[in-house]
Chains A and B, each alone.
Chain A
Amino acid sequence: MFSKVLVANRGEIALRIIRACREMGVRTVAVYSEADAQSLHRKLADEAICIGPPMSAKSYLNIERLIQTALETHAEAVHPGYGYLAENESFARACEKAGVCFIGPSPRNLRLAGDKIAAKKLMKAAGIPVIPSSEDGVGDVEAAGLLCQKIGFPVVIKAAGGGGGRGIRACENNSDLLEEFPVARLEARTAFGNDEVYIEKLIEKPRHIEFQILGDHHGNIIHLGERECTIQRRYQKLIEESPSPFLTASLREAMGKAAVHAMRALDYVNAGTVEFLVDSEGRFYFMEINSRIQVEHPVTELTTGIDLVKAQIRIASGEALGYTSQDIQRRGWAIECRINAEDPDNGFFPSPGKVETYHAPGGFGVRLDTHLYKGYDLPIFYDSLIAKLITYDLTREGAVRVMKRALQEFRIAPVKTTIPFYLQIMDDPDFIQGRFDTGYVKKFLPDETDDDDVE
């Protein structure tokens, strides 16, 4: 086991990793930007090093600086969390070169998972169902038009280097395609530095269901069940739960097998997720692989009792998993609400600033992963995720009731949050019955479009 780990992230996930390390008797090094001097991850780690200015590009994304800090503090491993450098092949290679263990998949895993077209080809070859699409990138709008004639509208244009729900545009017909195609390429280039896009048939009213995978360095690959992540706004997940109210036992088994098979095809190591779209008939299609610990990992932890971050650290240090998919006992129901500093009454626009009032919910069945505290000044530089509220009960109905009660207790002011929006959902009969698809939140936001432009 490592004696010291550098945590290359901030916010709630940095705390999550520091806490896991503390419980394992592993010392931690936090890194923080000048804007994060008052952040909790700096205060809770054993050591903390300032790595640069507020802008992420100059601090949390500064590979050279992070490696140098790991070497100077004698950290034997780096945990990248999610976002930032978590899926960055160059960073994983730089760690390897410096003799620092990257707690995550191999650089090759990261490369294959990051190239959406390559990953899809590999899955198709492995016999995993994939959504009908272009074989390769689509270079111009004429080629795009021909392809759409073949697979039929509606379609989605996706960035080959995209992910995390970014760089996706839906087209109902040929005139949408003419308008969206150039925009999609431009967007892909600015967001991912790669303007390659591909076209996929749009699966109507799908559910987004993913499987958590763990793989070790001894050839063991297991799954820990599914997470239902259908409730999204603009392709960003809002509510996740485990298990999924939609899956039957046989569908769950088939998808779990496919997920393990998919990760075997990649020789996958460490924690990862296989994302699927499931149509209303229960047909499932491979969507993408997320080669990192995911934001929504706690719902799996609460239903399996497995600490995924500790598992990541153990795997990286060379330990064998020591359990199989069959050993995983899943019990009860867990739901997570991602609470953002956004104003639901003003188009979900971000709401930074000082947290003057802060009261956290508690009690039986409540887990809160957050970096907030009273007096904390939310910087403008970073993501608006401020807390993950996760509730647990033996039944789904019970977990929803705990969530509603916990949301009612949660007080954050004057920063605006999405708590009131989640309270509305917890009272919605469709949500309570588990009846939803990826378009679900539109019923609360009738005027909203799918694209990201803010005027």
Chain B
Amino acid sequence: MSDAKKLVEVKAPMSGIFYRRPSPDEPAYVAVGDSVKKKQILALLETMKVFQKVKSPVSGRIVEILVENETPLKDEDVMFVIEVS
């Protein structure tokens, strides 16, 4: 019998453009399957030319990334699903 897995959704705190990488020629912050620590940077969100870091609320593993790089998001849009470790 498998353990009940706790999943956490990481939502956009406000509307903005979602970036998976720090700059176009650098690798993505995280990919599906990666283990992440609490407060680790997952992505950037740009609103009116101001960037904010999206940090992981928990330690765990990235199960799903629901949005494409460089897409505009509305607040509360789910960006990541993380399985809590």
Interface residues, chain A, CB within 8 Å of chain B? 54-55, 190, 341, 349-350, 352-353, 378, 380-384, 453-455
List the A residue with the shortest CB-CB distance to B52: A454
Most chain A CB within a 10 A radius of its CB, from B15, B48, B70, B72: B48
Contact A455–B17 (Cβ < 8 Å): no
Q: Known: A380-B15, A380-B17, A381-B72. Contact between A454 and B53, CB under 8 A?
A: yes
A interface, over-half SS: loop
Pick from B16, B23, B49: contact of A190, CB under 8 Å:
B23
A55 to B70, CA, bound (A): 9
> Could you say which residues of chain B place their CB within 8 Å of the CB of A54?
72
Identify 13 residue pairs between A and B in the complex whose beta-carbon atoms are under 8 Å apart, listed by A's number. A55-B70, A349-B14, A349-B47, A350-B48, A352-B48, A380-B46, A380-B47, A383-B49, A384-B49, A453-B53, A454-B51, A455-B52, A455-B55
Complex CA–CA separation, A353 to B15 (angstroms): 9
Q: Are B48 and A341 in contact (CB under 8 A)?
A: yes
What B residues does A55 contact at CB under 8 A?
17, 70
Q: Which residues of the partner chain B approach A382 to less than 8 Å between Cβ atoms?
A: 48-49
Q: Looking at chain B's contact residues, is the secondary structure mostly helix, strand, loop, or mixed?
A: strand
CB contact between B48 and one of A190, A383, A453, A455 (< 8 Å): that residue: A383
Number of interface residues of B (CB under 8 A): 17
Interface membership of B66, Cβ < 8 A: no
B4 at the interface (CB under 8 A from A): no
Chain A residue at minimum C-beta to C-beta distance from B22? A190
Residues of the A chain whose Cβ atoms lie less than 8 Å from the Cβ of B23: 190
Per-residue interface assignment for chain B, residues 23 to 57, with 1 indicating a CB less than 8 Å from any chain A CB and 0 otherwise: 10000000000000000000000111111110100
Chain A residues whose C-beta falls within 8 Å of the C-beta of B15 in the assembled complex: 352-353, 380
The smallest beta-carbon distance between A62 and chain B, in angstroms, is 15
Among residues 47 to 85 in chain B, which have CB atoms less than 8 Å away from a CB atom of chain A? 47-53, 55, 70, 72
New A-B pairs, 11, CB < 8 Å, besides A341-B48, A380-B15: A190-B22, A349-B47, A380-B16, A380-B46, A380-B48, A382-B49, A383-B48, A383-B49, A454-B51, A454-B52, A455-B55
